Chains A and B, each alone.
Chain A
Amino acid sequence: MDAVVGNRKRSRPELLEISDLIVDFDPVTMARRPVVQAEVVERFRKVGDPRAARIVDAMPSSGGVLDADAVDRLLIRVHCEMQRLSEEFQHGQRVSELLHAMLAAFQQCGIPTPYRIVDIGCGTGYVIRWLAARGEFGPDVELIGVDYNEALVQEALRLGAAERLDCRFEVVNAFAMDQPATVFLSTGVLHHFQGGGLAEFLCEHDQVGTQAFAHYDFQPSPLARPGAWAFHYIRMREPLSCHDGVISARRAHDATTLVDAARQTSFACGMYGTHVWKLPIPRVFHTLMGMRPEVIDAFRHTLGRRSGRLGQLA
Protein backbone atom coordinates (compact mmCIF):
# COMPACT_ATOMS: atom_id res chain seq x y z
CA MET A 1 0.00 0.00 0.00
CA ASP A 2 1.25 3.42 -0.85
CA ALA A 3 0.50 6.73 0.77
CA VAL A 4 1.01 10.07 -0.92
CA VAL A 5 2.63 12.58 1.41
CA GLY A 6 2.82 16.01 -0.18
CA ASN A 7 4.65 15.58 -3.45
CA ARG A 8 6.43 12.51 -2.23
CA LYS A 9 5.07 9.07 -2.67
CA ARG A 10 6.16 7.14 0.35
CA SER A 11 5.87 3.41 0.60
CA ARG A 12 4.25 2.20 3.80
CA PRO A 13 6.57 -0.32 5.42
CA GLU A 14 5.48 -3.91 5.68
CA LEU A 15 4.66 -4.72 9.30
CA LEU A 16 6.06 -8.03 10.44
CA GLU A 17 5.90 -9.71 13.82
CA ILE A 18 8.95 -11.52 15.07
CA SER A 19 6.91 -14.39 16.45
CA ASP A 20 5.51 -15.08 12.97
CA LEU A 21 8.95 -15.48 11.44
CA ILE A 22 10.99 -17.33 14.06
CA VAL A 23 8.84 -20.45 13.84
CA ASP A 24 7.83 -22.33 10.76
CA PHE A 25 5.58 -25.36 10.38
CA ASP A 26 4.66 -27.64 7.56
CA PRO A 27 0.95 -26.90 7.18
CA VAL A 28 0.16 -30.49 6.27
CA THR A 29 2.26 -32.54 8.67
CA MET A 30 2.56 -29.78 11.34
CA ALA A 31 6.24 -30.70 11.54
CA ARG A 32 8.62 -27.98 12.67
CA ARG A 33 10.82 -26.59 9.92
CA PRO A 34 14.24 -25.03 10.57
CA VAL A 35 14.41 -21.23 10.44
CA VAL A 36 17.57 -19.62 9.08
CA GLN A 37 18.46 -16.77 11.40
CA ALA A 38 20.20 -14.63 8.78
CA GLU A 39 17.17 -14.78 6.49
CA VAL A 40 14.85 -13.49 9.21
CA VAL A 41 17.32 -10.77 10.19
CA GLU A 42 17.65 -9.71 6.57
CA ARG A 43 13.90 -9.66 6.10
CA PHE A 44 13.46 -7.28 9.02
CA ARG A 45 16.27 -5.07 7.73
CA LYS A 46 14.59 -4.95 4.32
CA VAL A 47 11.30 -3.75 5.78
CA GLY A 48 13.11 -1.09 7.79
CA ASP A 49 12.78 -2.65 11.21
CA PRO A 50 16.33 -2.74 12.60
CA ARG A 51 15.11 -3.24 16.15
CA ALA A 52 13.40 -6.50 15.23
CA ALA A 53 16.52 -7.51 13.29
CA ARG A 54 18.64 -6.95 16.40
CA ILE A 55 16.24 -8.97 18.56
CA VAL A 56 16.36 -11.92 16.17
CA ASP A 57 20.11 -11.56 15.70
CA ALA A 58 20.58 -11.96 19.46
CA MET A 59 18.64 -15.22 19.59
CA PRO A 60 20.57 -18.45 20.14
CA SER A 61 21.28 -20.41 17.00
CA SER A 62 23.20 -23.43 15.84
CA GLY A 63 24.77 -23.62 12.41
CA GLY A 64 22.86 -20.53 11.36
CA VAL A 65 19.52 -22.06 12.30
CA LEU A 66 17.53 -20.64 15.19
CA ASP A 67 17.60 -22.87 18.26
CA ALA A 68 14.07 -24.28 18.27
CA ASP A 69 14.09 -25.03 22.01
CA ALA A 70 15.21 -21.52 22.87
CA VAL A 71 12.56 -20.09 20.57
CA ASP A 72 9.90 -22.24 22.25
CA ARG A 73 10.98 -21.13 25.71
CA LEU A 74 10.92 -17.53 24.57
CA LEU A 75 7.44 -17.87 23.11
CA ILE A 76 6.15 -19.44 26.33
CA ARG A 77 7.54 -16.49 28.31
CA VAL A 78 5.97 -14.09 25.85
CA HIS A 79 2.59 -15.81 26.15
CA CYS A 80 2.88 -15.65 29.91
CA GLU A 81 3.39 -11.91 29.65
CA MET A 82 0.50 -11.63 27.21
CA GLN A 83 -1.68 -13.48 29.69
CA ARG A 84 -0.99 -10.72 32.17
CA LEU A 85 -2.52 -8.23 29.77
CA SER A 86 -5.51 -10.50 29.22
CA GLU A 87 -5.97 -10.68 32.96
CA GLU A 88 -5.82 -6.93 33.31
CA PHE A 89 -8.37 -6.53 30.53
CA GLN A 90 -10.63 -9.12 32.21
CA HIS A 91 -10.59 -11.01 28.96
CA GLY A 92 -11.69 -14.35 30.40
CA GLN A 93 -14.75 -12.78 31.98
CA ARG A 94 -15.60 -10.95 28.75
CA VAL A 95 -15.47 -14.13 26.68
CA SER A 96 -17.42 -16.02 29.32
CA GLU A 97 -20.25 -13.47 29.34
CA LEU A 98 -20.53 -13.60 25.55
CA LEU A 99 -20.40 -17.38 25.42
CA HIS A 100 -23.05 -17.83 28.08
CA ALA A 101 -25.39 -15.64 26.05
CA MET A 102 -24.56 -17.59 22.88
CA LEU A 103 -25.06 -21.01 24.42
CA ALA A 104 -28.32 -19.94 26.05
CA ALA A 105 -29.51 -18.80 22.62
CA PHE A 106 -28.50 -22.15 21.10
CA GLN A 107 -30.53 -23.95 23.75
CA GLN A 108 -33.54 -21.74 23.12
CA CYS A 109 -33.29 -22.56 19.41
CA GLY A 110 -33.11 -26.27 20.12
CA ILE A 111 -29.57 -26.79 18.87
CA PRO A 112 -28.48 -30.11 20.35
CA THR A 113 -25.63 -30.45 22.81
CA PRO A 114 -22.72 -30.98 23.33
CA TYR A 115 -21.47 -27.54 22.46
CA ARG A 116 -17.84 -27.50 21.42
CA ILE A 117 -15.96 -24.26 22.02
CA VAL A 118 -12.72 -24.18 20.03
CA ASP A 119 -10.15 -21.46 20.65
CA ILE A 120 -8.04 -21.06 17.50
CA GLY A 121 -4.38 -20.15 18.07
CA CYS A 122 -4.86 -20.67 21.79
CA GLY A 123 -1.16 -20.37 22.66
CA THR A 124 -0.78 -21.43 26.28
CA GLY A 125 -4.55 -21.65 26.50
CA TYR A 126 -5.40 -18.79 28.82
CA VAL A 127 -8.96 -18.25 27.57
CA ILE A 128 -9.90 -21.92 27.55
CA ARG A 129 -8.30 -22.50 30.95
CA TRP A 130 -10.05 -19.46 32.37
CA LEU A 131 -13.38 -20.68 31.02
CA ALA A 132 -12.74 -24.12 32.50
CA ALA A 133 -11.77 -22.68 35.87
CA ARG A 134 -14.26 -19.86 36.24
CA GLY A 135 -16.73 -20.03 33.37
CA GLU A 136 -19.21 -22.31 35.17
CA PHE A 137 -20.18 -24.18 32.05
CA GLY A 138 -21.99 -27.48 32.35
CA PRO A 139 -20.78 -30.93 31.30
CA ASP A 140 -22.45 -30.47 27.90
CA VAL A 141 -19.86 -27.85 26.95
CA GLU A 142 -16.46 -28.98 25.65
CA LEU A 143 -13.59 -26.51 25.91
CA ILE A 144 -10.81 -27.09 23.40
CA GLY A 145 -7.77 -25.03 22.55
CA VAL A 146 -5.85 -25.62 19.32
CA ASP A 147 -2.57 -24.25 18.07
CA TYR A 148 0.08 -25.20 15.54
CA ASN A 149 2.87 -24.68 18.04
CA GLU A 150 3.42 -27.90 19.95
CA ALA A 151 5.50 -26.26 22.68
CA LEU A 152 2.71 -23.83 23.50
CA VAL A 153 0.13 -26.62 23.48
CA GLN A 154 2.31 -28.72 25.79
CA GLU A 155 2.55 -25.77 28.17
CA ALA A 156 -1.23 -25.32 28.00
CA LEU A 157 -1.68 -29.00 28.81
CA ARG A 158 0.76 -28.75 31.72
CA LEU A 159 -1.01 -25.73 33.13
CA GLY A 160 -4.44 -27.29 32.68
CA ALA A 161 -3.31 -30.46 34.44
CA ALA A 162 -1.71 -28.47 37.26
CA GLU A 163 -5.09 -26.97 38.10
CA ARG A 164 -7.10 -30.08 37.14
CA LEU A 165 -9.12 -28.15 34.60
CA ASP A 166 -11.75 -29.82 32.46
CA CYS A 167 -10.47 -28.75 29.05
CA ARG A 168 -8.12 -30.03 26.41
CA PHE A 169 -5.53 -28.75 23.97
CA GLU A 170 -4.46 -30.16 20.63
CA VAL A 171 -1.94 -29.52 17.90
CA VAL A 172 -4.37 -29.60 15.04
CA ASN A 173 -5.90 -27.50 12.31
CA ALA A 174 -9.06 -26.09 13.92
CA PHE A 175 -11.01 -26.61 10.72
CA ALA A 176 -9.95 -30.22 10.23
CA MET A 177 -11.01 -31.64 13.58
CA ASP A 178 -13.00 -34.88 13.76
CA GLN A 179 -15.94 -33.07 15.32
CA PRO A 180 -16.65 -29.53 14.12
CA ALA A 181 -16.72 -26.69 16.59
CA THR A 182 -20.04 -25.21 17.66
CA VAL A 183 -18.31 -21.92 18.33
CA PHE A 184 -14.93 -20.77 17.09
CA LEU A 185 -13.07 -18.25 19.23
CA SER A 186 -9.79 -16.44 18.89
CA THR A 187 -7.92 -13.60 20.52
CA GLY A 188 -5.36 -11.53 18.70
CA VAL A 189 -5.33 -13.85 15.71
CA LEU A 190 -7.18 -12.00 12.94
CA HIS A 191 -4.46 -9.45 12.26
CA HIS A 192 -2.12 -12.27 11.33
CA PHE A 193 -4.24 -12.76 8.21
CA GLN A 194 -3.68 -9.98 5.71
CA GLY A 195 -5.17 -9.41 2.28
CA GLY A 196 -7.19 -12.29 0.90
CA GLY A 197 -5.98 -14.55 3.69
CA LEU A 198 -8.50 -13.02 6.07
CA ALA A 199 -11.54 -13.98 3.98
CA GLU A 200 -10.03 -17.43 3.34
CA PHE A 201 -9.61 -17.96 7.06
CA LEU A 202 -13.15 -16.86 7.82
CA CYS A 203 -14.67 -18.93 5.02
CA GLU A 204 -13.20 -22.01 6.65
CA HIS A 205 -15.64 -21.45 9.52
CA ASP A 206 -18.49 -22.52 7.25
CA GLN A 207 -18.83 -26.03 8.60
CA VAL A 208 -21.86 -28.13 9.31
CA GLY A 209 -22.58 -27.82 13.02
CA THR A 210 -20.75 -24.55 13.50
CA GLN A 211 -23.22 -22.03 14.86
CA ALA A 212 -21.10 -18.98 15.55
CA PHE A 213 -17.69 -17.41 15.85
CA ALA A 214 -16.29 -14.59 17.94
CA HIS A 215 -12.86 -13.22 17.15
CA TYR A 216 -11.32 -10.65 19.45
CA ASP A 217 -8.59 -8.44 18.10
CA PHE A 218 -7.07 -5.00 18.58
CA GLN A 219 -9.31 -2.18 17.45
CA PRO A 220 -7.52 0.44 15.32
CA SER A 221 -7.91 3.94 16.71
CA PRO A 222 -5.74 7.04 17.09
CA LEU A 223 -4.94 5.88 20.61
CA ALA A 224 -4.11 2.30 19.65
CA ARG A 225 -0.47 2.80 18.69
CA PRO A 226 0.70 5.03 21.56
CA GLY A 227 -1.49 3.06 23.93
CA ALA A 228 -0.02 -0.25 22.81
CA TRP A 229 3.49 1.14 23.06
CA ALA A 230 2.99 2.53 26.55
CA PHE A 231 1.20 -0.51 27.88
CA HIS A 232 3.67 -3.00 26.46
CA TYR A 233 6.61 -0.91 27.64
CA ILE A 234 5.21 -0.80 31.16
CA ARG A 235 4.06 -4.39 31.42
CA MET A 236 6.33 -6.53 29.24
CA ARG A 237 9.86 -7.69 29.95
CA GLU A 238 10.75 -9.49 26.75
CA PRO A 239 11.81 -7.21 23.86
CA LEU A 240 9.88 -9.52 21.52
CA SER A 241 6.68 -8.91 23.49
CA CYS A 242 7.11 -5.15 23.27
CA HIS A 243 7.87 -5.26 19.56
CA ASP A 244 5.13 -7.63 18.48
CA GLY A 245 2.54 -6.06 20.77
CA VAL A 246 2.92 -2.69 19.10
CA ILE A 247 3.08 -4.17 15.60
CA SER A 248 -0.08 -6.16 16.32
CA ALA A 249 -1.95 -2.99 17.17
CA ARG A 250 -0.67 -1.36 13.99
CA ARG A 251 -1.59 -4.32 11.78
CA ALA A 252 -5.07 -4.71 13.20
CA HIS A 253 -7.98 -4.59 10.79
CA ASP A 254 -10.72 -2.02 11.09
CA ALA A 255 -14.32 -3.12 11.51
CA THR A 256 -15.21 -2.56 7.85
CA THR A 257 -12.41 -4.81 6.62
CA LEU A 258 -13.36 -7.53 9.09
CA VAL A 259 -17.06 -7.44 8.38
CA ASP A 260 -16.56 -7.30 4.60
CA ALA A 261 -14.38 -10.41 4.79
CA ALA A 262 -16.72 -12.20 7.17
CA ARG A 263 -19.77 -11.56 4.99
CA GLN A 264 -18.30 -13.88 2.39
CA THR A 265 -19.37 -16.69 4.72
CA SER A 266 -22.93 -17.91 5.22
CA PHE A 267 -23.03 -16.47 8.74
CA ALA A 268 -24.75 -13.21 9.63
CA CYS A 269 -21.79 -11.06 10.65
CA GLY A 270 -21.11 -7.84 12.49
CA MET A 271 -19.13 -6.26 15.29
CA TYR A 272 -19.63 -6.57 19.02
CA GLY A 273 -18.35 -4.29 21.76
CA THR A 274 -16.62 -1.59 19.76
CA HIS A 275 -17.12 1.19 22.30
CA VAL A 276 -17.15 1.53 26.05
CA TRP A 277 -20.79 1.72 27.06
CA LYS A 278 -22.37 4.31 24.75
CA LEU A 279 -19.45 6.70 24.97
CA PRO A 280 -17.20 7.61 22.02
CA ILE A 281 -14.36 5.70 23.69
CA PRO A 282 -13.09 2.76 21.62
CA ARG A 283 -12.42 -0.48 23.40
CA VAL A 284 -8.91 -1.89 23.12
CA PHE A 285 -10.34 -5.02 21.53
CA HIS A 286 -13.36 -5.28 19.31
CA THR A 287 -15.06 -8.52 18.36
CA LEU A 288 -15.94 -9.84 14.94
CA MET A 289 -19.00 -12.00 15.34
CA GLY A 290 -20.70 -14.39 13.00
CA MET A 291 -23.83 -16.32 13.77
CA ARG A 292 -26.38 -18.50 12.01
CA PRO A 293 -29.27 -16.16 11.11
CA GLU A 294 -31.88 -18.29 12.88
CA VAL A 295 -30.14 -17.81 16.24
CA ILE A 296 -29.78 -14.03 16.15
CA ASP A 297 -33.08 -13.03 17.76
CA ALA A 298 -32.58 -15.44 20.62
CA PHE A 299 -29.02 -14.22 21.03
CA ARG A 300 -30.10 -10.58 21.27
CA HIS A 301 -32.54 -11.64 23.95
CA THR A 302 -30.02 -13.68 25.95
CA LEU A 303 -27.46 -10.88 25.76
CA GLY A 304 -29.83 -8.85 27.94
CA ARG A 305 -28.43 -5.47 28.90
CA ARG A 306 -25.38 -6.14 26.73
CA SER A 307 -27.45 -6.33 23.56
CA GLY A 308 -26.62 -2.68 22.88
CA ARG A 309 -23.03 -3.74 22.23
CA LEU A 310 -24.07 -5.91 19.31
CA GLY A 311 -24.01 -4.16 15.97
CA GLN A 312 -26.07 -5.15 12.99
CA LEU A 313 -25.60 -8.80 12.03
CA ALA A 314 -26.16 -9.31 8.33
Chain B
Amino acid sequence: MSSTVIWLYVLATLDAMFSGVCAASGREARIDKRSYYLNAMIHGIVWGQVACVVGLLILAAAWSISEDPQLAMKQMVAVGDRMVLVFGVYAAIILAFFAVRAIPSVDIRSMTSTVAFGPLTLVRPAVVVCGIGWGLAIGPQPSIIGAGILICVLMAPFRVWLNRWFDAKRWVAGVVSSAEPASRIAD
Protein backbone atom coordinates (compact mmCIF):
# COMPACT_ATOMS: atom_id res chain seq x y z
CA MET B 1 0.00 0.00 0.00
CA SER B 2 2.71 2.44 0.98
CA SER B 3 4.44 2.19 -2.40
CA THR B 4 1.18 2.98 -4.18
CA VAL B 5 0.64 6.04 -2.02
CA ILE B 6 4.23 7.18 -2.47
CA TRP B 7 4.08 6.77 -6.26
CA LEU B 8 0.80 8.65 -6.51
CA TYR B 9 2.19 11.41 -4.31
CA VAL B 10 5.37 11.73 -6.39
CA LEU B 11 3.43 11.75 -9.65
CA ALA B 12 0.92 14.32 -8.34
CA THR B 13 3.76 16.54 -7.11
CA LEU B 14 5.58 16.29 -10.45
CA ASP B 15 2.36 17.17 -12.25
CA ALA B 16 1.79 20.12 -9.94
CA MET B 17 5.34 21.34 -10.51
CA PHE B 18 4.99 21.25 -14.30
CA SER B 19 1.54 22.79 -13.99
CA GLY B 20 3.16 25.70 -12.18
CA VAL B 21 5.56 26.20 -15.08
CA CYS B 22 2.76 26.00 -17.66
CA ALA B 23 0.53 28.40 -15.77
CA ALA B 24 3.41 30.87 -15.37
CA SER B 25 4.50 30.70 -19.01
CA GLY B 26 3.68 33.61 -21.27
CA ARG B 27 3.36 36.06 -18.38
CA GLU B 28 6.93 37.25 -17.97
CA ALA B 29 8.92 38.78 -20.79
CA ARG B 30 12.39 38.93 -19.28
CA ILE B 31 15.06 36.86 -21.00
CA ASP B 32 16.55 35.27 -17.90
CA LYS B 33 13.66 33.46 -16.27
CA ARG B 34 15.42 30.86 -14.13
CA SER B 35 14.31 32.37 -10.84
CA TYR B 36 10.89 33.05 -12.30
CA TYR B 37 10.31 29.44 -13.29
CA LEU B 38 11.82 28.18 -10.04
CA ASN B 39 9.27 30.32 -8.26
CA ALA B 40 6.55 28.97 -10.54
CA MET B 41 7.55 25.39 -9.72
CA ILE B 42 7.43 26.12 -6.00
CA HIS B 43 3.98 27.66 -6.34
CA GLY B 44 2.82 24.64 -8.32
CA ILE B 45 4.24 22.20 -5.79
CA VAL B 46 2.66 24.05 -2.86
CA TRP B 47 -0.75 24.00 -4.52
CA GLY B 48 -0.11 20.36 -5.40
CA GLN B 49 0.30 19.60 -1.70
CA VAL B 50 -3.02 21.30 -1.04
CA ALA B 51 -4.60 19.12 -3.73
CA CYS B 52 -2.99 16.01 -2.20
CA VAL B 53 -4.39 16.85 1.23
CA VAL B 54 -7.85 17.43 -0.24
CA GLY B 55 -7.55 14.13 -2.12
CA LEU B 56 -6.58 12.33 1.08
CA LEU B 57 -9.55 13.86 2.90
CA ILE B 58 -11.85 12.68 0.11
CA LEU B 59 -10.42 9.16 0.36
CA ALA B 60 -10.66 9.21 4.15
CA ALA B 61 -14.32 10.23 3.89
CA ALA B 62 -14.97 7.45 1.37
CA TRP B 63 -13.28 4.96 3.66
CA SER B 64 -15.17 6.11 6.72
CA ILE B 65 -18.60 5.88 5.09
CA SER B 66 -17.84 2.49 3.56
CA GLU B 67 -19.81 -0.46 4.92
CA ASP B 68 -16.69 -2.62 4.78
CA PRO B 69 -13.66 -0.40 5.52
CA GLN B 70 -11.17 -3.24 5.13
CA LEU B 71 -12.43 -4.10 1.67
CA ALA B 72 -12.56 -0.39 0.82
CA MET B 73 -8.88 -0.04 1.71
CA LYS B 74 -7.96 -3.00 -0.51
CA GLN B 75 -9.98 -1.62 -3.39
CA MET B 76 -8.44 1.83 -3.01
CA VAL B 77 -4.97 0.33 -3.28
CA ALA B 78 -6.00 -1.70 -6.34
CA VAL B 79 -7.47 1.41 -7.98
CA GLY B 80 -4.34 3.37 -7.06
CA ASP B 81 -2.05 0.72 -8.60
CA ARG B 82 -3.86 1.01 -11.91
CA MET B 83 -3.74 4.81 -11.76
CA VAL B 84 0.01 4.67 -11.14
CA LEU B 85 0.40 2.64 -14.30
CA VAL B 86 -1.36 5.21 -16.51
CA PHE B 87 0.15 8.29 -14.88
CA GLY B 88 3.56 6.63 -14.72
CA VAL B 89 3.59 6.05 -18.47
CA TYR B 90 2.54 9.68 -19.09
CA ALA B 91 5.23 10.97 -16.75
CA ALA B 92 7.86 8.69 -18.28
CA ILE B 93 7.06 10.01 -21.77
CA ILE B 94 7.38 13.60 -20.59
CA LEU B 95 10.65 12.94 -18.78
CA ALA B 96 12.00 11.09 -21.84
CA PHE B 97 11.33 14.17 -23.96
CA PHE B 98 13.11 16.32 -21.40
CA ALA B 99 16.10 14.05 -21.85
CA VAL B 100 15.87 14.56 -25.62
CA ARG B 101 15.62 18.32 -25.05
CA ALA B 102 18.96 18.26 -23.31
CA ILE B 103 20.59 17.76 -26.73
CA PRO B 104 21.98 21.18 -27.67
CA SER B 105 20.25 21.58 -31.04
CA VAL B 106 17.71 24.31 -31.73
CA ASP B 107 15.81 22.01 -34.09
CA ILE B 108 15.58 19.14 -31.63
CA ARG B 109 14.62 21.44 -28.79
CA SER B 110 11.93 23.22 -30.76
CA MET B 111 10.62 19.91 -32.05
CA THR B 112 10.18 18.66 -28.51
CA SER B 113 7.86 21.63 -27.99
CA THR B 114 5.83 21.16 -31.16
CA VAL B 115 5.75 17.38 -31.27
CA ALA B 116 5.81 16.50 -27.59
CA PHE B 117 5.17 19.11 -24.92
CA GLY B 118 2.38 20.92 -26.77
CA PRO B 119 0.29 17.82 -27.47
CA LEU B 120 1.11 16.32 -24.07
CA THR B 121 -0.16 19.51 -22.43
CA LEU B 122 -3.32 19.28 -24.49
CA VAL B 123 -4.06 15.68 -23.46
CA ARG B 124 -3.24 16.10 -19.77
CA PRO B 125 -6.87 16.45 -18.61
CA ALA B 126 -7.78 13.39 -20.67
CA VAL B 127 -4.92 11.44 -19.10
CA VAL B 128 -6.21 12.34 -15.62
CA VAL B 129 -9.71 11.15 -16.56
CA CYS B 130 -8.41 7.98 -18.22
CA GLY B 131 -6.10 7.14 -15.33
CA ILE B 132 -8.83 7.45 -12.73
CA GLY B 133 -11.33 5.75 -15.04
CA TRP B 134 -8.92 2.87 -15.64
CA GLY B 135 -8.52 2.51 -11.87
CA LEU B 136 -12.25 2.56 -11.21
CA ALA B 137 -12.81 -0.01 -13.96
CA ILE B 138 -12.14 -2.77 -11.42
CA GLY B 139 -15.63 -2.01 -10.05
CA PRO B 140 -15.04 -0.87 -6.45
CA GLN B 141 -17.65 0.20 -3.90
CA PRO B 142 -19.80 3.25 -4.73
CA SER B 143 -18.05 5.36 -2.10
CA ILE B 144 -14.72 4.78 -3.85
CA ILE B 145 -16.22 5.54 -7.23
CA GLY B 146 -17.55 8.79 -5.78
CA ALA B 147 -14.15 9.59 -4.32
CA GLY B 148 -12.48 8.88 -7.66
CA ILE B 149 -14.85 11.20 -9.47
CA LEU B 150 -14.27 13.97 -6.93
CA ILE B 151 -10.50 13.60 -7.24
CA CYS B 152 -10.87 13.70 -11.01
CA VAL B 153 -12.85 16.94 -10.74
CA LEU B 154 -10.08 18.28 -8.51
CA MET B 155 -7.08 17.29 -10.65
CA ALA B 156 -8.24 17.45 -14.28
CA PRO B 157 -8.68 21.25 -14.24
CA PHE B 158 -5.78 21.81 -11.80
CA ARG B 159 -3.92 23.98 -14.33
CA VAL B 160 -6.98 26.10 -14.97
CA TRP B 161 -7.24 26.85 -11.28
CA LEU B 162 -3.55 27.54 -11.06
CA ASN B 163 -3.90 29.93 -13.99
CA ARG B 164 -6.74 31.75 -12.27
CA TRP B 165 -4.73 32.01 -9.10
CA PHE B 166 -1.74 33.43 -10.94
CA ASP B 167 -4.04 35.94 -12.62
CA ALA B 168 -5.52 36.99 -9.32
CA LYS B 169 -2.23 37.10 -7.55
CA ARG B 170 -0.32 38.96 -10.27
CA TRP B 171 2.67 37.38 -8.56
CA VAL B 172 5.83 37.02 -10.67
CA ALA B 173 9.21 37.21 -8.97
CA GLY B 174 9.52 40.92 -8.40
CA VAL B 175 8.91 42.07 -11.96
CA VAL B 176 5.42 42.38 -13.28
CA SER B 177 4.68 43.33 -16.85
CA SER B 178 2.89 46.64 -17.20
CA ALA B 179 -0.03 44.69 -18.60
CA GLU B 180 -1.58 42.18 -16.28
CA PRO B 181 -2.36 38.89 -17.98
CA ALA B 182 -5.71 37.16 -18.04
CA SER B 183 -6.18 33.45 -18.34
CA ARG B 184 -8.49 31.78 -20.79
CA ILE B 185 -7.97 28.08 -21.09
CA ALA B 186 -6.51 25.12 -19.30
CA ASP B 187 -2.79 25.45 -19.57
Contact = CB atoms under 8 A, between A and B. Distances in A.
A72 B163 CA distance: 22
A234 B121 contact: yes
B106 A155 contact: no
Interface in A97-119: 97
B30 A162 contact: yes
B185 interface: yes
B113 A89 contact: yes
Interface in A144-203: 154-155, 158-159, 162-163, 165
B15 interface: no
A97 B181 contact: no
A159 B180 contact: no
A219 interface: no
A306 to B, nearest CB: 10
Interface string B90-132: 0000000000000000110111011001110110000000000
Nearest to B117: A88
A163 B30 CA distance: 7
Interface residues of B, number: 32
Interface majority SS (helix, strand, loop, mixed), chain B: loop
A81 interface: yes
B27 interface: yes
Contact of A90 (B109, B163, B177): B109
Interface stretch (A126-134, A248-256, A260-268): A126-134
A181 B38 CA distance: 38
B89 to A, nearest CB: 21
Contacts of A129: 31
A237 B29 contact: no
Nearest to B121: A234
A236 interface: yes
Nearest to A79: B29
B25 interface: yes
A73 B178 CA distance: 7
Contacts of A235: 25-26, 118, 121, 187
A133 B32 contact: yes
Interface string A57-93: 0000000000000001111110111011000111011
B7 to A, nearest CB: 27
Given A159-B29, A227-B114, A73 B187 contact: no
B107 A277 contact: yes
B179 A80 contact: yes
B184 interface: yes
B26 to A, nearest CB: 4
A230 B122 contact: yes
Contacts of B179: 72-77, 80, 155
A211 B75 CA distance: 72
B23 to A, nearest CB: 10
B178 A276 contact: no
Contacts of A130: 31
A276 B111 contact: yes
B28 A80 contact: yes
A90 B106 contact: yes
B101 to A, nearest CB: 10
A75 B179 CA distance: 9
Contacts of A277: 107
A277 B107 CA distance: 8
Nearest to A75: B179
B110 A80 contact: no
B10 interface: no
Contacts of B177: 76-77, 80, 155
Interface in A27-75: 72-75
A1 to B, nearest CB: 29
Nearest to A154: B178
Nearest to A131: B31
B175 interface: yes
B163 A237 contact: yes
A241 B5 CA distance: 41
B183 interface: yes
B182 interface: yes
Nearest to A126: B29
Contacts of B121: 234-235
B26 A83 contact: yes
Interface of B: 25-32, 106-107, 109-111, 113-114, 117-119, 121-122, 163, 175, 177-185, 187
10 contacts: A77-B179, A77-B180, A77-B181, A80-B27, A80-B28, A94-B106, A162-B30, A236-B26, A236-B184, A237-B182
Given A80-B179, A284-B110, 14 more contacts: A76-B178, A80-B181, A88-B117, A88-B118, A94-B106, A134-B31, A155-B177, A155-B179, A159-B29, A165-B31, A234-B185, A235-B121, A236-B26, A239-B184
